[in-house]
């Protein structure tokens, strides 16, 4: 490396950390070194004093709701609130860059400070812990979604000529990762079609708008506002899928859970299936609250109604939403209305 404008291909198990995470890792390495010296009587391992000292050290990356970590090597840092990695590594940890927050941990921390005795015995208690570690990522063994990634530096005239006849993507020949699985060039010379300057990367947004927007309704509105500007998007189909796959199941599930919910103490977090006769927590006397509230049940209802009207979806979908709305209003009253405040609480004798 001689100049800052030279291009270096990232290796398939290299990772680039965001600086906030790197700052945290500096403290982790110091803790690990102190533990090795004071608890185990060994020498320090990391000897890290600043972020650049992390370069070259190994980490484990892990996706949510999985138990299989993947080994990676730190090669640099970014100011953006995101981590960068090779598509092979991203695919190996069973994620396709769909917005989930993956985790990264220092390798020695995961190896030393780990025991199944620390983990919950409940179903799912082993999730998000590196029970398995993939040391060597092999492209032929990762999720085949990455096998469709293009590895060419241009599409050629034939590609553009075929676009006039609207062929299926599989009918257009473009070299992809899958074509190289049995070749030596599978790990290197992964080309791209359009060059970007370093400034184009550094000047990009540092945080996703998904994290800056406060409510889910704002996020959905921004998403569909963007789709309204793109003629290539089928907005009606997107709204239909969102309502049928997410909103309606969520509304039905929350309403069902409400009928079976318990109560929680605001002080000690004790849980009760029924309110004790004392009306307060029997452990600490704290106030008891419902574990599922009205707002959590109806939070997507108005959004679903607005999307169905906005994109003129089928009557069947609108009717399903209306039926759910009527069920919710049968339990809580009119949707969107403020709860009725009544300071006069009747006792059982008054009711009788």
Residue 193 covered by a domain? no
Q: Is 133 found in the same domain as 229?
A: no
Residue 2 covered by a domain? no
Q: Is 220 found in the same domain as 137?
A: no
Range of the domain at 319: 216-336
The residue among 12, 4, 326 whose CA lies nearest residue 187 is 12
Q: What is the 3-state secondary structure (H, E, C) of 59-102?
A: EEEECCCCCEEEEEEEEEEECCCCCEECHHHHHHCCCCCCCCCC
Q: Is 222 found in the same domain as 100?
A: no
Domain stop point among 113, 144, 175? 144
| Interval 139-158 mean pLDDT | 90
Tens digits of residue pLDDT in 21-58? 999 999 999 999 999 999 999 999 999 999 999 999 99
Tens digits of residue pLDDT in 192-243? 998 877 666 677 788 888 788 888 888 999 999 999 999 888 999 999 999 9
Q: Is 225 found in the same domain as 134?
A: no
Number of domains in the chain: 2
8 A C-beta contact, residue 89 and residue 70: yes
Tell the burial category of 10 from Cβ atoms under 10 Å away from its Cβ (0-12, 13-18, 19+).
middle
Domain stop point among 105, 122, 144? 144
pLDDT value at position 26?
97
According to DSSP, the β-strands at 68-78 and 58-62 are antiparallel
Residue 7 covered by a domain? no
Packed helices 301-310 and 315-332: angle between N→C axes, nearest 10 degrees:
160
Q: Is 327 found in the same domain as 223?
A: yes
CATH number at residue 92: 2.40.40
Give the pLDDT band (50/70/90) at residue 183: confident
What percent of the chain has pLDDT above 70?
A: 92
Tens digits of residue pLDDT in 110-121? 999 988 888 887
| Interval 326-335 mean pLDDT | 82
Q: Is 223 found in the same domain as 139?
A: no
Q: Is 117 found in the same domain as 26?
A: yes
Residue 197 covered by a domain? no
| Interval 59-68 mean pLDDT | 89
| Interval 160-168 mean pLDDT | 91
Tens digits of residue pLDDT in 267-289? 898 888 888 888 899 999 999 98
Residue 195 covered by a domain? no
CA dihedral (166, 168, 171, 174) positive or negative: positive
Residue 163 covered by a domain? no
Domain stop point among 90, 125, 144? 144
**Most confident segment among 113-122, 175-184, 316-325:** 316-325
| Residue 132 dihedral angles phi and psi, to the nearest 5° | -125, 145
Residue 273 covered by a domain? yes
Residue 210 covered by a domain? no
Q: Is 137 found in the same domain as 21?
A: yes
User: Which tokens hold the place of 105?
Assistant: 């941990």
């Amino acid at each position: 490396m001689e100049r800052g404008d030279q291009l270096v291909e990232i290796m398939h198990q290299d990772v680039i950390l965001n600086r906030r995470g790197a700052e945290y890792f500096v403290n982790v390495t110091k803790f690990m070194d102190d533990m090795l010296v004071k608890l185990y009587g060994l020498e320090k391992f990391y000897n890290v004093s600043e972020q650049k000292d992390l370069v070259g050290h190994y980490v484990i990356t892990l996706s949510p709701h999985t138990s299989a970590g993947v080994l990676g090597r730190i090669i640099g840092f970014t100011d953006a609130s995101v981590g960068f990695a090779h598509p092979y590594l991203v695919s190996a940890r069973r994620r396709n860059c769909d917005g989930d927050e993956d985790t990264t941990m220092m390798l020695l921390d995961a190896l030393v400070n780990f025991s199944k005795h620390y983990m919950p015995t409940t179903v799912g208690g082993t999730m998000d812990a590196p029970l398995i570690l993939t040391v060597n990522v092999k492209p032929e063994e990762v999720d085949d979604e990455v096998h469709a990634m293009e590895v060419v530096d241009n599409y050629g005239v034939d590609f553009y000529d075929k676009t006039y006849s609207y062929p299926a993507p599989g009918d257009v020949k473009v070299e992809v990762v899958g074509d190289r699985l049995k070749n030596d060039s599978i790990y290197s010379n992964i080309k791209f079609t359009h060059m970007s300057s370093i400034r184009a990367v550094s000047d990009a947004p540092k945080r996703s708008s998904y994290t800056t927007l406060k409510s889910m309704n704002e996020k959905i509105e921004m998403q569909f506002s963007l789709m309204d500007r793109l003629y290539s998007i089928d907005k009606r189909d997107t709204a239909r899928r969102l309502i049928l796959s997410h909103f309606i199941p969520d509304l039905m599930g929350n309403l069902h859970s409400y009928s079976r919910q318990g109560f929680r103490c605001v002080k000690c977090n004790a849980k009760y299936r029924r309110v004790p006769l004392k009306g307060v927590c029997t452990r600490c006397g704290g106030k008891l609250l419902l574990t599922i509230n009205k707002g959590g049940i109806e939070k997507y209802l108005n959004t679903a109604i607005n999307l169905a009207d906005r994109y003129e979806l089928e009557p069947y979908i609108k009717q399903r939403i209306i039926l759910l709305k009527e069920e919710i209003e049968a339990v809580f009253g009119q949707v969107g209305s403020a709860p009725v405040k009544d300071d006069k609480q009747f006792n059982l004798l008054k009711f009788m």
